[in-house]
Amino acid sequence: MRIITEEKLGTVLAGVPGTPRVICGGNFATPWRAVALLDAAIPEYRLYTLNAQPGIPDRPGVTLETSFTGPGMRGCERLRYYPGRLSLVPRLLAEMLPPDIVLLHTSAPAGGTVSLGVEVNVLPAAVESVRARGGLVVAQLNPRMPYTFGDSVLACSEIDYAIEVDEPLPTPPPRAVTVTSQSIGERVAEQIGDGSTLQLGIGEVPDAVLGELTGRRGLMIWSEMFSDGVLQLEKAGALDPSQPVTASFVFGTEELYDWIDRNPRIRLLRTEKTNDPAVIARQPQMTSVNTALQVDLFAQANASRLHGMIYSGFGGQTDFVVGALHSAGGHAIIALPSWHPKADVSTVVPRLMGPVTSFQHSFIISEQGTAAIWGHDSSAQAQQIINQVAHPAVRSELLAIGQHLGLRLS
């Protein structure tokens, strides 16, 4: 690894021929200074990022690519969405979308290594792919990036050039738990017992669920990501102290980042490990809690598209739904409000009009109640979704349309 000035890095990047494909960390670990230097140096390039945050370059000459659309790419005119389970994205980057440049945001060097810190995800696979084709690996070294263990540790020799940038990590805006999300959290928590292994995302509903679990004991974390709710479980003594907290990326408050820094109990692994359905299935009482934009009477969930436009993507939902269903004592739960407050529409529809993200769940839960899906015939599933999940204002309409669709409903 050669540490150089920002001016020198701009010169190096300007010398890359053609229209290179660039892969950089997403979520809250984007190497923003390195991205700015790249954008100034190269007129035309392709930029692949997962869950891009606002500020990603979006101009003529930049083609945005992703398999999970974040707010920084949502609605962009030059976006190319590549559908895929998150567990398979490393393979996509090796075979179909090989990079020419990889931009990393890492810790400061220590003992000949750096750490990818809060964002492992698909980056190890991207580094392997770009080095196999003789491309560039560039790191933005930041002493404020936590040093995490597992697959996040990278030898300095794997990095070609680095710049030093001392800046705080971004944190997601705080979200207040609403009455609706609190009710959903209570209902989801009823399905989670002591000794369960958890996968939850971030947002009002996951935060509410975790807040209801502080009285449990022996809980374990095997998740795509985690945030401050897991730290609250640790403080409450709800986590099994003998088991590592395993995920692929993290984002949250400075307190969370301080907790994971050099913490031997925190293990961040590459996506193809954390999201492998077969590995997920081996976790005891694996309970996957995900949300959706819509569910329909056939117990199918849409978490990807809104009004026909890509909103997010498969992410890890499909991986964890399958893995949890195969786990001994496991459950795959979809949790969502019965009514979308911004769009002012029901989140339960007769039939999804767009692609299905996941299906065959254990439970679908809203603030209205819980529908048990697994083990019930299709008509019984639909009846429960109408009676227990849907908002009362649309139940009569759903019942009539469901009967028209051939479901035996009353």
Query: Any idea which residues carry the catalytic annotation?
Result: 224
Query: Over 77-107, what HEC string results?
Result: CCEEECCCCHHHHHHHHHHCCCCCEEEEEEC
Q: Which residue has the tokens 């790249």?
A: 38
Conformational region of residue 117, where left means phi above 0, alpha means psi within -120 to 50, and beta covers everything else: left
Exposed, middle or buried, 199 (CB in 10 Å: 0-12/13-18/19+)? buried
Which tokens belong to 264?
């031997």
Which tokens belong to 188?
């989801």
Which tokens belong to 284?
């005891």
Question: Which 8-state DSSP code applies to residue 66?
Answer: E
User: Rounded distance, CA 165 to CA 19, Å?
Assistant: 27
- Asked if 373 and 361 touch (Cβ cutoff 8 Å), the reply is yes
Largest Cα–Cα distance of the chain, in whole Å? 72
User: Rounded distance, CA 339 to CA 147, Å?
Assistant: 41
Conformational region of residue 206, where left means phi above 0, alpha means psi within -120 to 50, and beta covers everything else: alpha
> Would the CA dihedral through 265, 70, 203, 326 be positive or negative?
negative
